Structure 1
Amino acid sequence: MAEPAEDKEDFAEASSVAPRNRDPPALMSQTAPEKKRNAFAELMSPKPKAAKSDASDTKPHRSLKSLSPWKGALLDYIKHPEQFPDQVLRVTPNTVLIKDSFPKATVHLLLLPRSPEHYGLHPHDAFKDLEFLAMMKEEAASAARIAAAELGRQLSPFSATSKARNEAMDAGVPFDDLPPGRDYLPDIRIGIHAHPSMAHLHVHIISRDMHSDRLKHRKHYNSFNTSFFIPVADYPLADDDERRRTSFQNANLSRDFVCWRCKKVFGNRFAELKRHLEEEFESWKKE
């Protein structure tokens, strides 16, 4: 049986209230006080979601009538994005971009397609439609630039690479004359989970740091740091790609922990990994 990246228990605190009636938690936590208010900061800041053993897990999800509230929660964002002004960042004719309610890194967004022909499908199946795939890649690339800008807003005050640019900004140097700062786009990852936890197709736009108090157990970490996380750029997958196999992906979720940055192996010692990730984050943000 395919294992999802998260379990029902991960959503327990939100399950007792319908999504549209919740006051969503703050999702873009402020790592450092911003020096100047800007339109992007205002947008991103909070305002007063069974295959057989070796089969490819590509069957359409069950009827919405049979879904638990947490598993089908993304549909409300797709159909009624206007009801979530605190969480929806962008709406286009093709997609809705939202902040993940349970972020596993400093910046964690979800890109949701609005097409009824596709949003109920497993990504493996939906991405067989090459026109749809091309559209999702284009919109995901745009979403990644938004995520990179937000990551820079939070971390650039600590960055040695951005020091000259920050000082020039403080001195009132015109924008076009500013020296270059740190490029955060390479730190943004775009992909899907091999066995998605939520019923509706969603693409993760996530910073690679894994620095979050929502990162609570093995599957949370390994679902983003093994081949369980499949880059959208790799689609369409070949029919014999091992990442389609349920047994391969279930094994990925139970693998030993490996630091995303230094590649140190932590076995199954999650608490030790979490302490190490904090140290790596402090070093990484200063680059």
Structure 2
Amino acid sequence: MQLSNHGQEHDRRPAMDDPTHSPRPYKRSKSMKHAGDERTDSDSCPETPRADSAAVLATQPIEAGQETSAPETAAKKNAFHELMTKKPRPPAAPSIPPRGSSSRPSNPYYLNNDPRSALAAYLSNPESLPSGVILFHNADFVVISDAYPKASVHALVLPRDISVTHLHPINVLNSNPALLSSLREISEQTRTLLAKELQRTHAKYSATEQIRQKAFEALEDRAIAEPGFDPDSEESQAMLPPHRDWAACIKIGVHSRPSMSNLHVHVISEDMHSRCLKKKAHFNSFNSRFFVRLDEFPLDEDDPRIPDVGSMNSTLKGDMVCWRCKRNFGNKFKELKDHLELEYQAWRKI
């Protein structure tokens, strides 16, 4: 499956050695930083919809405890000048045409002025959107960063087949094995892409990755001391400890009762670390049976997650249970949110 230039550009992002393709690492002095040390995973939540890939893939927030100070000259700036100076606005996601707008009929992915059709803006002509909006696309799928990510990395896979885009995900994935197979394939490609981003942003904290990095450096030291020793040979590479399995930290699935009308699959990391995680329903929608993994399909005929078979309201409104330690927080979202931060710090150090 061929990816667009958007995907190719993304693959050139600076990263520690790739789990699937490990180039020869360079020897680093202790004073050097990892590539990307100054870039951290996004934990911001825009107040207006954004599809900038930076919303999921590497923004630059100020680290906790970091002091910032403006230059002394900043305080002396003319207040009137500051007020009148136009400030650039951040890039916005494709806007949703208002009901009755003449632009809506030209996009078949909108459904009867359904206000839940926001994702239709990405499907009709992804080539026309800015490169930061789309992660990659082809004739059959568009993959975007979620505008309101609920974890360190969070992407959406959108099928472009107009005959399925308005169907309920549970029904169509239960009855269309060809589509299910294609979605599994493109979602795995997305998982690989997001796993590289997790590695890039968290490798400097990971004990597993640091052990491997030190082993890399030992091979290069040996190459200097022993002329003829090749640190890039298969035998040498086999001596290295494994990478952390970042792909295993990412889950793929759909909501049993989706809030958006266009068919989409979530590819999301397990850490639930995001400012956009603001309420109980956000958490439970990814950490209960409300979230149906692609590898669970096809479902049994009596599965309550199938529309008209059962209700999922009680599941979405049920107790919140930590994804990592399984502690039950009941309805105490603030307490859970504080706990998730502690779990996140421990999780990234594995």
Band the TM-score falls in, shorter-chain normalisation: 0.7 to 0.9
The alignment partner of 2:312 has SS state of helix
Aligned to 1:240: 302
TM-score, normalization by structure 2: 0.64
Q: Deviations over 1:227-256 (max 9, x none)?
A: 000001111222211222575411111111
Q: How far apart are 1:170 and its partner, in Å?
A: 6.6
Aligned residue in 2 for 1:195? 257
Aligned counterpart, 2:212: 165
The offset of 1:122, in angstroms, is 0.8
Q: Does 1:134 align with 2:203?
A: no
Q: How do 1:229-268 residues align onto structure 2 when only pairs under 5 Å count?
A: 229-244=291-306, 248-268=311-331
Residue 184 in 1 paired to residue 261 in 2?
no
CA contact (8 A) 2:171 2:306 kept: no
Secondary structure (helix, strand or coil) at the match of 1:65 reads: coil
Give the equivalent residue in structure 1 for 2:343: 280
Instruction: Determine the C-alpha separation between the residues in 1 that align with 2:60 and 2:202.
Output: 7
8 A contact 2:110–2:117 mirrored in 1: no
Rate the CA distance shift 1:283–1:119 in 2: closer, same or farther, 3 A.
same
Aligned residue in 1 for 2:39: none
Asked if the contact 1:157/1:166 (under 8 Å) is kept, the reply is no
CA 1:63/1:143 → structure 2, altered by over 3 Å: closer, same or farther?
A: closer
Aligned CA distance change for structure 1 residues 175 and 28 (closer, same or farther; 3 Å) = farther
| Aligned match for 2:161, one of 96, 115, 118 | 115
Q: How many residues align?
A: 245
**Among the aligned pairs, what percent are the same residue?**
39
SS for the counterpart of 1:138 is helix
Counterpart residue number, 2:193: 146
Greater RCO, CA 8 A, separation 6+:
1
Q: How far off is 1:165 after superposition? A: 2.5
RMSD of aligned C-alpha atoms? 2.9
* Unmatched 5+ stretches in structure 1: 1-10, 34-45, 50-61
Q: Distance in 2 between matches of 1:155 and 1:207?
A: 12
Tell me the amino acid that sits aligned with residue 247 of structure 2.
Answer: L
Scaled by the length of structure 1, the TM-score of the pair is 0.77
Highest Rg: 1 or 2? 2
Deviations 1:9-28 (A, max 9, x none): xx99437xxx7xx8786332
Stretches (4+) displaced over 2 A:
11-15, 22-33, 164-180, 245-248
**Which residue number corresponds to residue 275 of structure 2?**
213
- Residue 213 of structure 1: CA displacement? 0.4
- Select the structure that is richer in helix: 1
What is the letter of the counterpart of residue 123 of structure 1? P
User: CA offset at residue 134 of structure 1?
Assistant: 1.0
Aligned partner of 2:78 in structure 1 is none
